[in-house]
Amino acid sequence: MQGSLFQRIKRLTGKAVGDFNLIEEGDRIAVGVSGGKDSYTLLHVLDALRRRAPIKYELVAVNVDSGFPGFRKEVVEKHLADHGFEYRVESTNCYEIIEEKRKPGTSYCSFCARLRRGVLYTLADELGCNKIALGHHLDDFIETLLLNQFYVGSLKAMSPKLAADNGRHTVIRPLVYVEEGEIIRFSREQQFPIVCCACPVCGEVDQKRQRMKGLIRELATENRHLKKSMLTALGNVQPRHLLDKNLTDFDLGLP
Ligand code: SF4
């Protein structure tokens, strides 16, 4: 793969890998590939970096087929095979479980995401992978920051590198510096075979996230460095100027 956009995405991803020490010698990384633009981009960029890296690491593309009727896993599988990736496409009955066990009124997505994450961890174990790479990009990080502030009452976003709850894997997000717009353009340029997850809520607009996107877009017309500033803020936390009693000692003992 060539082109200045690819070079830019590769450079930004390489910088994130270096800044957060995302990849180390001997890593075997399960790359979650959903069939969407972000995960295809992640896989191809990590593969390009791997070929020129001074350290050795391995990639395994992993697709979790949740069993939603109409999911075209063969399209994803063909792409992975055509490009010579080591891969695993896993068929599951997540759909049945969701339909059966989800309590009415609870979020379809969070139940689904929990199940899929569990499958991904199990597969990572089976495939001998110590890390799991996910395709979240810069916009995901800052939108999540705003969503949590506005609707959850918490000052948090995502981590580029996080120990999984099971203590065995590390989840990494190497596209943290790459904007969604760049991924969309790159994905179109490469004509990646995008497939829809085919779930019942696929295509439904997440209204809150769309509002955050709109807000960021609007503010960015006045300040083109806005996204970068928000991301920088995530790495520049000043607990003394916040209200968290666990982080700051408010008992200053003043008269
Ligand atoms: S969009 Fe569909 S596949 Fe994705 S988490 Fe939500 S329910 Fe699951």
- Assigned fold of 4-139+157-203: Rossmann fold (3.40.50)
User: What's the pLDDT tens digit per position in 127-160?
Assistant: 999 999 999 999 999 999 999 999 999 999 999 9
Which residue owns the Cα nearest ligand 1 atom 2? 199
Under 8 Å between Cβ of 146 and 157: no
Which residue owns the Cα nearest ligand 1 atom 7? 109
Nearest-atom index, ligand 1, CA of 204: 1
Q: What residue segments make up the domains of the chain, in order of their start?
A: 4-139+157-203
Q: Is a pLDDT exceeding 80 seen at residue 205?
A: no
Q: Angle CA(37)–CA(195)–CA(133) in degrees, nearest 5?
A: 45
How large is the average pLDDT for residues 62-89? 96
Phi and psi at residue 162, in whole multiples of 5°? -140, 135
Q: Cβ(112) to ligand 1 under 6 A?
A: yes
Q: Are strands 170-172 and 161-163 parallel, antiparallel or unpaired?
A: antiparallel
Kindly give the distance from the C-alpha atom of residue 112 to the centroid of ligand 1, in angstroms, as a whole number.
6
How far out from the chain centre does Cα 60 lie?
16
pLDDT number for residue 199: 87
Which residue owns the Cα nearest ligand 1 atom 5? 109
Residue 255: pLDDT band by 50, 70, 90 thresholds? low
How large is the average pLDDT for residues 68-86? 96
Average pLDDT of the residues of the chain: 94
Q: Cβ(64) to ligand 1 under 6 A?
A: no
Lowest mean pLDDT among 14-28, 64-78, 90-104, 125-139: 90-104
Sheet of 58-65, strand order: 87-91, 58-65, 28-32, 131-133, 170-172, 161-163
Residue 102: pLDDT band by 50, 70, 90 thresholds? confident
pTM of the predicted model, to two decimals?
A: 0.93
Kindly give the distance from the C-alpha atom of residue 251 to the centroid of ligand 1, in angstroms, as a whole number.
46
